[in-house]
Amino acid sequence: MSSIDLQTSAHPGVALARDYRTPDGQPDPLSAPDQPRIGMPLSRLDGPRKVTGNARFAAEFALEGMVYAALAYSTIARGRIALLDTTATEAAPGVVLVMTHENVPPLQSPPVFLTTAKGAAGDDHPVLQNDRVHWNGQPIAVVLAETQEQADHAVTLLQVEYVQEPAMTDFDSAETREPSNVLGGPASVTIGHAERAFEDAPCRVDAIYRTPRHNHNAIEPHAVTLAWQGDELILHDGSQCVDHVAYSLAQVFGIDESQVHVTSPFVGGGFGSKTLWQHQILAAAAARLADRPVRMALSREGVYRVVGGRACTEQRVAIGADEKGHFQALIHTGKAAMTAHNNLPEPFTQATKCLYGADHIQLAIRVADLDMLANTFMRAPGESVGTFALESAIDELAEQLGIDPLELRRRNEPERDPTSGLPFSSRHLLEASRAGAERFGWARRSVRPGARHEGEWQIGLGCATATYPYMRMPGAAARITLSRHGPVRIDVAAHEMGMGTATVQTQVAAARLGVPIERVQFNYGDSSLAGVVLAGGSQQTAAIGGAVIAAHRALVEALLELVGSDSPLAGLSSDDIECREGGLGVPGDASRFETYERILDRAGHSEVLVEADAAESEELSHFSMHSFGTIFCEAAVSTITGEVRVRRLLGAFDCGRILNAKTATSQFRGGMIMGLGLALMEETQFDTRNGRIMNPSLAEYHVPVQMDVPEIEVMWTDIPDPHTPMGARGIGEIGITGVGAAVANAVYNACGRRVRELPITLDKLL
């Protein structure tokens, strides 16, 4: 469990969020004029602990008697182990245990993410239970030693021979199938007769777009430090779903979920990858076999071998329009790589479902099952690569029609969700787009590609729409402990992966409780805390917020039960009450007010504790709920080398209420930087001859560094969504969406070369 010691800094001149009413018509306490905490650019409360080295990550816990683990990885894509000679390894200095399929304890297959309510595993392969090999890089042995160096050396001494079997590793030649579901919904959506309408349309674009594999490269590689205490398993893990990991490990080891305790106080980036993979299971099995605590920290290469990433896609986007640009047909279909052992077809049509109105729509995803490491979630799965295809095609159509790309998008702005028919809970995309265009100087864009030069550089502007859905998963709960003199403690099994969760939730709780920020202690990162919360799908803020709202109401009711007949609050209900100035009172009536301390004193209580579950997320059944934005890019292309330099980026977003201006800006910019990597450099090199990832390091897998990142400007509407718990929608993932297309469209405007396959490397422009 982690808690934050509070520090604040003044930021004068910051506008507060607009006042609005909650879905039940009540005034929202978060926008009260005497609560200037929501929206303020409060610095991250965990910052001092991180910069001073006092924040402990998963591989920084030291347990008495701990040994260190190293993994051996297969070098074939499919087959079986014919020989695994451990003699030299066992004789190496410091070796405590060599665990293979021949001596591993019995383990059940782990529950895959999205197949059960709390499943967290990337795949359902049996973990080291037989001699079978399912992908190139699969762990085949674990070595425990007294030091990490001894373990790393000893694992190189293993002698392995394989019997290879035919493997399917070529995405282009693999047969495809329709998956049973995509994120729990259908794999295809059909409205009208899109192909027929497309053929009849006077203006048409029909193109194939390709995106490569991507691998996770969080600043903190995956690691776990764990020990068995009798039949209880204690883990310090870098996790974005502590309760899910606890449940899933309990299934693997055949024990009760209460016997698994996961802590994850600090996580150095997750982006969808910090769930359950084989390394945690193997570390726990080896610890049980050796009867010693174990630390397993994956190398950067180890992350590529064991932890899944984004799958490659091939997408067709076909748009048929009339002469004025009205979409008569919108087709977005294609295929993505997957394995038969996981449950995540890359959902690249998600954005297309909600962005544009069209008379006829056809969306479909097929998958090609390959013998490879299971793919998994990676920041904005689907939307990040799907918007590249969709928004590039719209740019192509705009040029054909002679219509400004922003204007073409405006002409196809839907009144209701184009595929579900639901009304939008809140949609201010056009306002954000207009403001962003004015700020960026979009009017100065040259209509003719290649018209603007600065020496050897051709300069172009491009734009694309960004979107990501609002979600609020079930299971969230919060525990509030109000002490007479101590801090107000908020306990939620939530996660801090660097996005500012603890800071924002402290602000929200302080505003709701009517106490200074310094008095709130937000505890998180521990499976023993309240609720089941997942840091994923940009939904954790809303999930926690809903839980805190429920717990806050329970707290007010509990306090009112304590007041005596001589209290100024006697006879009042929670509907009559507001929290302000460290107590409860009637709005507008200073005489009917009592501090928390006074209420507890009267009742003879030192503290009061309440816990409540968040209300069901019924809003999603009544409204289409999404965040939106427009990405603007200025790119320069060298006429000599074909090098692309992105010179400016601007993101104008509509994400509901912004709860903390400083952390929100950081999140938007971080997503846009990741989008730069997607656009210009990120690509997993996959050898189709043997299914092996060939660039498993940051030396060869390129991500944006300081000199690659230009000026990035961020702006937002700050219009609360009246149907979310705090008026806010998630912002962690929308920043990456649209960036790939905005860059590609700017490159085309600069030099006249249309790139339909990411990344946009110089060889594609020469």
Does some domain include residue 78? yes
Does residue 174 fall inside a structural domain? Answer: no
What digits encode the pLDDT tens for the residues 153-163?
A: 999 999 999 99
- CA dist 148 and 467 (Å) reads 44
β pairing state of 360-369 and 327-338: parallel
Torsion sign over Cα 241, 654, 469, 512: positive
Helix residue spans in 404-538 (DSSP H): 405-411, 429-440, 501-513
User: Quick one: CA dihedral 280, 284, 287, 289, positive or negative?
Assistant: negative
497 and 593 in a single domain? The answer is: yes
Do 433 and 555 fall into the same domain?
A: no
Neighbours of 705 (CB within 10 A): 11
pLDDT tens digits for 299-313? Answer: 999 999 999 999 999
Spatial separation of the C-alpha atoms in residues 610 and 612, rounded to whole Å? 7
Sequence length of the chain is 766
3-state helix, strand, coil in the chain (%, to 5): 25, 25, 45
Where a domain ends, among 592, 616, 640?
616
- Residue whose pair of structure tokens reads 């001092």 in the numeric block: 48
- 137 and 244 in a single domain? The answer is yes
Q: Indicate the burial class of 616 (C-beta count within 10 angstroms; 0-12, 13-18, 19 or more).
A: exposed
Q: Are residues 128 and 228 in the same domain?
A: yes
Query: Does residue 384 sit in the same domain as residue 421?
Result: yes
Pick the last residue of a domain from 601, 616, 631: 616
Ordered DSSP codes for 443-481: GG--SSTT--EETTEEEEEEEEEEEEE----TT-EEEEE
Residues 508, 517: Cα–Cα separation, whole Å: 9
Whether residues 652 and 672 share a domain: the answer is yes
- C-alpha of 514 from chain center: 31
Distance CA 116, CA 651 (A): 36
d(CA 115, CA 236): 25
Is residue 350 domain-resident? no
For the segment 391-444, what is each residue's pLDDT rounded down to a tens digit?
999 999 999 999 999 999 999 999 999 999 999 999 999 999 999 999 999 999
Rounded Cα distance, 725 and 170, in Å = 46
Q: Which CATH number goes with the domain that contains 122?
A: 3.90.1170.50
pLDDT in tens, 9-67: 222 222 223 334 444 445 555 554 444 468 899 999 999 999 999 999 999 999 999 99
- Quick one: CA torsion of 102, 105, 109, 112, rounded to 10 degrees? -110
**DSSP element (H, E) containing 383:** helix 383-401
Q: Say if residue 161 is in the same domain as residue 298.
A: yes
Identify whether residues 155 and 292 lie together within a single domain. yes
The answer to whether residue 363 sits within a structural domain is no
Say what the pLDDT of residue 616 is: 87
Spatial distance between the Cα atoms of 520 and 507, rounded to a whole number of angstroms? 8
Three-state DSSP state, 185: strand
CB under 8 A, 24+ apart: contacts of 447-454: 449/748, 449/749, 449/750, 449/751, 449/752, 450/750, 450/751, 450/752, 452/750, 454/636
In a domain, residue 46? The reply is: no
Q: In this structure, what token pair is assigned to residue 721? A: 């969504």
Which domain CATH number covers 546? 3.30.365.10
* Residue from 761, 606, 729, 593 nearest 664 by CA: 729
Domain that holds residue 243: 58-166+221-269+274-306
Query: Active site residue: 220, 383, 578, 733, which one?
Result: 733
Active site residue 102: no
Does one domain contain both 153 and 285?
Answer: yes
Note whether residue 42 is domain-resident: no
pTM: 0.94
**Residue 584 CA neighbour count, 13 Å, CB half:** 27
CB burial string 666-675: b at 16+ within 10 A, e below: bbbbbbbbbb
Both 504 and 642 in a single domain? no
365 found inside a domain: no
Residue 316, in any domain of the structure: no
Last residue within a domain, chosen from 590, 616, 642: 616
- If asked whether residues 300 and 416 sit together in one domain, one would say no
Residue 189's SS3 state is: strand
Q: What is the model's pLDDT at position 4?
A: 36
Distances (CA, A) of 127 to 253, 377, 540: 11, 21, 30
d(CA 371, CA 135): 6
Pairwise CA distance, residues 666 & 663, whole Å: 5
| One domain, residues 699 and 743 | yes
- Residue 555 φ/ψ, nearest 5 degrees: -65, -45
Number of neighbouring beta carbons within 10 Å of residue 34: 9
What residues in the chain have per-residue pLDDT under 70? 1-37
Instruction: Kindly state the percentage of the chain with pLDDT values over 70.
Output: 95
- Shortest CA distance to 408 belongs to which of 397, 424, 392? 397
CA dihedral 373, 379, 383, 388 (to 10 degrees): -90
Report the number of distinct structural domains present in the chain. 3
Token reading at 740: 């790939």
Residue 617 is predicted with a pLDDT of 86
Task: Determine the pLDDT at residue 485.
Answer: 87
pLDDT the model gives residue 3? 41
Going by DSSP bridges, is the β-strand pair 132-133/79-85 parallel, antiparallel, or unpaired?
antiparallel
Is residue 224 within 8 Å of residue 57, measured between CB atoms? Answer: no
